[in-house]
Amino acid sequence: MVSLQYYGQHICGGFLITEEFVLTAAHCWKKCDILTVVVGTHDLREKNDCNSFKVTSYIPHPDYNSNTFENDIMLLKLNKNVRLSNNIGLISLSKNGKSAKAETLCSVAGWGTLWLNGPPIDRLREAETVIMCDAECEYRWGPYYKASKMICVYGHGGTCIGDSGGPLVCNNTAVGITAFGDRYLCNSRLRPNVYTRISAYIPWIHNITGKV
């Protein structure tokens, strides 16, 4: 898990899929913004320049649409390879078009607020979630939800402001990227959190990184 920062302030999450590429959400980057990637820390108050990396290439999906939330996925190429350790590791991706089935228990993590308009937090938090069936996701979100490209979840915990870009992990595999949710309420069953379905983008990721 990495923190994407703008002038030292956490704005989004992301995760390493190779030593030089981070996967995150496309909406986390506004053109001309210069982001820093911080790896290997649970507490954002612990500053360490050795764990900070510059981004040399911002690669949002070419079909990303900020109005419909489709294809909300982006790769960041770092200025140098990250040295892996006990605290810094890669997250495996879902492959061969496979994704988590409904009712699978998964987890999400991030430095986002605990409630809408809540204060920012410094320590990484994790919550359990459950994959919701596509039919209910479509009922809750209507035309915004595209089952072939998105996943939604429910549970007592979830994501909120500042958690975008982080991974939805099921059975030690990243299957989704935190994308969007209810504008007025975090972790709402009426408007469940939605994630970009990683399995739909494996060929695109592979073409850029050369491996996944």
Catalytic residue among 3, 10, 27, 163: 27
Report the candidate in 61, 93, 79, 63 with the shortest Cα–Cα distance to residue 20. 79
Instruction: Report d(CA 185, CA 160) in Å as an integer.
Output: 9
Strands, E assignment, the chain: 2-6, 9-16, 21-24, 36-39, 52-60, 74-78, 92-93, 105-110, 125-131, 150-154, 167-170, 173-180, 194-197
182 is known as an active-site residue: no
Q: Which two tokens stand for residue 101?
A: 């089935």
Catalytic residue among 72, 94, 163, 182: 72
Catalytic residue among 3, 164, 182, 199: 164
206 is known as an active-site residue: no
10 is known as an active-site residue: no
- What amino acid positions are annotated as catalytic residues? 27, 72, 164
